[in-house]
Amino acid sequence: MFRNMYDTDVTVWSPEGRLLQVEYAMESVKQGSACVALRSDTHSVIGALKRSVSELSSHQQKILEIDDHLGIGIAGLTADARTLAKWMRNECLNHKYVYGTAMPTGRLATDLADRHQRTTQTYVRRPYGVGLLLASFDKNGPHVYQTCPSGNVYECYAAAIGARSQSGRTYLEKHHETFPTCGRDDLIMHALRALVGCISGDGELTSENGSIGVVGKDERFVLIEGAELQPYLDRLELEGGNNAGGAEEEEGEGDAEEEEEKEDDVMET
């Protein structure tokens, strides 16, 4: 069970120069359900799979609005994500009060990463166990950022995190070159197709467990869920793609395993 004696504290380096507690925190991101984000030249889109604990319960919330121009998708510990979301909303509000303009996403992302970093440097607090995808449209255009518990932050054209996200990532990597010219709805479809691959077993993407957030030029951040999501799911159905074992994803699984290797040392950059 325990790898060694160096893995119980964030302030202890292992002989290989790794911080195992931080790496374990990175693992908790993979426990959360999948979340994808991608951008075109005009829009950013987040897509997420919502879990529910039983037939009797509602589905969790996976996409949170932060400001008019910005939303996040989460994978990992939801409570940690809410803490961070609250802080981010506050930052955006402050920025709007002080400067009269929307918070630049890059700045928010680095500030957020610094917040993560602080927890990895001192003894008293554990790292946040959540990975975030930020999708925004600010004065520099659309952005997608990915953050990790280690405090690393990446700006991406597209990204996928969470459980079984590898096949979603494979889908995105394969198609990301076509994203820039995509319209709003096409981008949403790409997000859904990437999500389908992340569903386990015989599951299906439905208007209950699917969730989409969009923001773009002249469009504030909106959530598309439930009945509003249905037309997109119908379109997906027409393509014959709404099924975890779809043809597209089969071939994706091939390089999934070798890619997984890459994930491991993400923190060292």
Which of 20, 158, 187, 236 contacts other proteins by CB under 8 A? 158
Which one, 59 or 69, has the nearer CB to other proteins? 69
Say how far apart CA 40 and CA 30 lie, in whole Å. 26
Which one, 70 or 229, has the nearer CB to other proteins? 70
138 near other proteins (CB under 8 A):
yes
Tell me how many residues contact other proteins (CB under 8 A).
58
36 near other proteins (CB under 8 A):
no
190 near other proteins (CB under 8 A):
no
Say how far apart CA 34 and CA 163 lie, in whole Å. 5
Tokens 């959530």 identify what position? 223
Which one, 116 or 164, has the nearer CB to other proteins? 116
Tell me the residue type at 261.
Answer: E
In this structure, what token pair is assigned to residue 94?
A: 């402050």
Q: Which parts of 123-260 are beta strand (E)?
A: 130-138, 141-147, 153-156, 158-161, 210-216, 219-224
Least separation in angstroms between residue 176's CB and other proteins is 5
**Cα 264 from chain centre:** 17
How far is it between the farthest Cα atoms of the chain? 54
Least separation in angstroms between residue 233's CB and other proteins is 25
Which of 157, 206, 207, 235 contacts other proteins by CB under 8 A? 157
The SS3 of residue 262 is: helix
* Phi, psi of 54, deg, nearest 5: -155, 175
Which one, 155 or 248, has the nearer CB to other proteins? 155
173 near other proteins (CB under 8 A):
yes
Least separation in angstroms between residue 156's CB and other proteins is 5
17 near other proteins (CB under 8 A):
yes
Which one, 2 or 123, has the nearer CB to other proteins? 123
The 10 Å CB-count burial string (b at 16+, else e) for 86-114 is eebeebbeebeeeeeebbbbbebbbebbe
| Site residues (vs other proteins, CB under 8 A) | 5-6, 10-19, 97-102, 104, 106-107, 110, 113-114, 116-118, 120-124, 137-141, 150-159, 169, 172-173, 176, 217-218, 262, 266-269
